Amino acid sequence: MTDIAARRTGPHTRTGGPSDDQDHLVEHLLGWSLVVVLALLTAQLGLF
């Protein structure tokens, strides 16, 4: 690996971890509300 390639990939490599976005609270709320809606739907349909 050349020196330029090492500098280009080194500090900018993303590992798929949590990002610095501030929308994580909204994502959690939407995710949990989806879980609750699916649970209510399966209970109402008798699939539970």
Which pLDDT belongs to residue 33? 98
Which pLDDT belongs to residue 11? 63
Which pLDDT belongs to residue 9? 55
User: What tokens does 46 get?
Assistant: 């008798």
Return the domain boundaries, the chain.
Answer: 24-48
Please check whether residue 40 is in contact with residue 34, taking contact to mean a CB–CB distance below 8 angstroms. Answer: no
Q: What is the pLDDT of residues 1-48, one digit of tens each?
A: 566 655 555 566 667 666 666 678 889 999 999 999 999 999 999 986
Which pLDDT belongs to residue 40? 96
Residue for token digits 């990002």?
19
